[in-house]
Amino acid sequence: MNLFAVLDQAATRFGDRGAVFRGTEQLHTFGELRDRTLRLATSLSDDRDTGARIAIASENRPEIIELMFAVWAAGCAVVPINFKLHPREMAQILEDSGAAVVFASPKIAPALTDATDVPVEVIDSPEYVTRLSSAATRPADTDPGALAWLFYTSGTTGKSKGAMLSHRNLMAMTVSHLADFDSPDENSSLVHGAPMSHGSGLYIAPYVLRGARQVIPTSSGFDPEEFLDLCDHHPRTSGFLAPTMVARLVATGRPRPQNLTTVVYGGGPMYVDSLKKAMAAFGPIFVQLYGQGEAPMTITGLRRRDHLDADDAVLGSVGYARSGVEVAVLDADGNPAGVGEIGEIVCRGDVVMSGYWNNPAATEATLAGGWLHTGDMGSFDAHGYLTLRDRSKDVVISGGSNIYPREVEEVLVEHAGVEEACVVGAPDQEWGEVVVAFIVGTATEADLDAHLLERIARFKRPKRYIYVDELPKNSYGKVLKRELRDRVPE
């Protein structure tokens, strides 16, 4: 089973129907999308080995869809790259994955070409268009366990790790989405508001399988007004949005577009107050997912009807185990925790990755005992609702993007005017969380901003700096991050 079958089936059933739209403009029918995909796949097979990793670094563009299915049809694996990363960070992912080529948007390609030795091919360039004149040949058979999506998440050590997801993993995610959250058909649409290198891109599979439209905003990003307009224009629309994007939709003050039926939110904490405001503005169209790169989009969830007449405990939870996934909370000794007892959240099922790319030590630790150890802490209530209590990994989730404190700290301490630095997340109404840096040293805020801009992505820069004489530490010399978090003024 190869994920290309998802498109193949849709094209067989709905060949003449619109598949890919840029804004309101139809670009390709399902038949045309399959044809383009198979031509691209032939051109990729001509110069790559089966199993090659092929990276995509682009803001949201229609070509991402044909590239994904083409890479799969060619028996290769997609390496999606967050387009907001610094070229240096992108280059690290390309090197670690051993990518054979990276398809980059015209916006990203020039800086990326300077940063990496991996061949960069510009999406929609004459070279790309030539690929589309290759013959369309049938794809080879693929083992369902073969690598389909090499998904880079950062670790607390700051080094990116590639979660290896197979065709089977993504199919399990697809089936679970259709079972639990949404039931699109050929008169439905998926509007891509969030980055397609992450959750929104993963949702392409379930919606293509049902013959639904893929709608890519002309802005290539998330503009709440444009998103709502597109949800009004296209039939029976759904979208995946980070909690901060949901808040921005609410802030427009507009009513729910009639055709908007489902908004899946997740990937970071959604505060109960924000959720209530969103439901008051748009009605009961919300679905929550809790997942991570290692078990994409699919650990627990709250369905639409679970939001109705729900108390704050349910709205503040991440729901219950998804179809096909077993979820448990383990205590410090690795035994199942009792109701209300906080422990590490673990899960298992067909959606869970096979391990980290070229990193057996991390794989062994994360998949110990046959469970995926999420690193998230939480507890179950008596009805199986899971509440996240704290993230043991200290990840800061700002505007739906994960920021790993260690990465920022390492760059801060490279500055001559910084003796010590510690980065924590602080709650923020607009962004969910923001990065706050505690600094021991003489470097000014302007110095540090300039220093960071040269080295890491803009969105990872601290929104606040707090200067201290020393960092609080325990007897092992470990910085007490919890104490620092408490020191951040409201």
Tokens of 5: 């079958």
- Per the DSSP assignment, residues forming a β-bridge with 391 are 376
Burial of 333 (0-12, 13-18, 19+ CB in 10 A): exposed
Question: Residue 391 Cβ, how far from ligand AMP at the closest point, in Å?
Answer: 5
439 vs 456, beta carbon nearer ligand AMP: 456
Question: Residue 340 Cβ, how far from ligand AMP at the closest point, in Å?
Answer: 19
Q: Which stretch binds ligand AMP (CB under 6 A): 213-221, 227-235, 289-297, 330-338?
A: 289-297
Question: Residue 264 Cβ, how far from ligand AMP at the closest point, in Å?
Answer: 10
CA distance linking residue 54 with residue 99, whole number of Å? 5
End-to-end CA distance of the chain: give it in Å, rounded.
52
228 vs 397, beta carbon nearer ligand AMP: 397
Chain residues 51-90 in contact with ligand AMP, contact rule CB under 6 A: none
The verdict on 288 binding ligand AMP (CB under 6 A) reads: yes
Q: Which stretch binds ligand AMP (CB under 6 A): 96-104, 261-269, 305-313, 419-427?
A: 261-269
Residue linked to tokens 């109960």: 272
The verdict on 343 binding ligand AMP (CB under 6 A) reads: no
236 vs 307, beta carbon nearer ligand AMP: 307
The verdict on 207 binding ligand AMP (CB under 6 A) reads: no
By CB under 6 A, name the one of 266, 343, 405, 425 that touches ligand AMP.
266
Chain residues 428-487 in contact with ligand AMP, contact rule CB under 6 A: none
Chain residues 374-413 in contact with ligand AMP, contact rule CB under 6 A: 374, 376, 388, 391, 397, 402
CA distance linking residue 455 with residue 201, whole number of Å? 27
The verdict on 274 binding ligand AMP (CB under 6 A) reads: no
Question: Residue 397 Cβ, how far from ligand AMP at the closest point, in Å?
Answer: 6
Chain residues 302-321 in contact with ligand AMP, contact rule CB under 6 A: 318
> How many residues sit close enough to ligand AMP to count as binding (CB under 6 A)?
17
Q: Which stretch binds ligand AMP (CB under 6 A): 28-36, 206-214, 265-273, 434-442?
A: 265-273
Tokens of 433: 């969380």
The verdict on 164 binding ligand AMP (CB under 6 A) reads: no
Burial of 382 (0-12, 13-18, 19+ CB in 10 A): exposed
Q: Which stretch binds ligand AMP (CB under 6 A): 45-53, 88-96, 244-252, 260-268?
A: 260-268
The verdict on 239 binding ligand AMP (CB under 6 A) reads: no
Q: Which stretch binds ligand AMP (CB under 6 A): 21-29, 266-274, 351-359, 431-439?
A: 266-274
Q: Which stretch binds ligand AMP (CB under 6 A): 181-189, 287-295, 407-415, 461-469?
A: 287-295
Smallest Cα–Cα separation from 150: which of 241, 207, 71?
A: 71
The verdict on 37 binding ligand AMP (CB under 6 A) reads: no
Question: Residue 153 Cβ, how far from ligand AMP at the closest point, in Å?
Answer: 5
Question: Residue 38 Cβ, how far from ligand AMP at the closest point, in Å?
Answer: 31
The verdict on 158 binding ligand AMP (CB under 6 A) reads: no
By CB under 6 A, name the one of 113, 125, 153, 387 that touches ligand AMP.
153
211 vs 405, beta carbon nearer ligand AMP: 405
Question: Residue 270 Cβ, how far from ligand AMP at the closest point, in Å?
Answer: 6
The verdict on 162 binding ligand AMP (CB under 6 A) reads: no
444 touches 451 (CB < 8 A): no
- Under the rule (CB under 6 A), what is the footprint of ligand AMP? 153, 266-269, 288, 290-293, 318, 374, 376, 388, 391, 397, 402
